[in-house]
Amino acid sequence: MKRNITTFSGRMKLADMILADCNLLSILERLNIRLGFGEASVTNVCQKYKLSTELFLIICNIYSFEDYTPHINTLTKEDIAKTLTYLHTSHQYYSKACFPHLHENIHLMMEECDDLNSKIINKFYDNYDTEVSNHFDYEERIVFPYVESLLTRENCRSLDYNIAQFERNHSNIDEKLNDLKNIIIKYLPESCSTPKRNEVLLEIFRIEKDLRKHTLIENKLLIPLVSKLEHNE
Report which of 122, 93, 89 is spatially closest to residue 105, judged by C-alpha positions: 122
DSSP H/E element including 15? helix 14-20
DSSP H/E element including 26? helix 24-30
Q: What is the pLDDT at residue 161?
A: 85
CA distance 14 to 22: 12
Q: What is the pLDDT at residue 116?
A: 87
Q: What is the pLDDT at residue 156?
A: 55
Q: What is the pLDDT at residue 4?
A: 41
Q: What is the pLDDT at residue 155?
A: 52
Q: How far apart are the first and last CA of the chain?
A: 49
For residue 80, the one-letter residue type is I
Global pTM? 0.90
Q: What is the pLDDT at residue 5?
A: 52
Residue 65's SS3 state is: coil
Q: What is the pLDDT along the chain (233 residues), one digit of tens a residue?
A: 334 456 899 999 999 999 999 999 999 999 999 999 999 999 999 999 999 999 999 999 999 998 898 999 999 999 999 999 999 999 999 999 999 999 999 999 988 888 888 888 989 999 999 999 999 999 999 999 999 999 987 555 555 788 999 988 787 788 889 999 999 999 888 888 889 999 999 999 999 999 999 999 999 999 999 999 888 75
Q: What is the pLDDT at residue 3?
A: 40
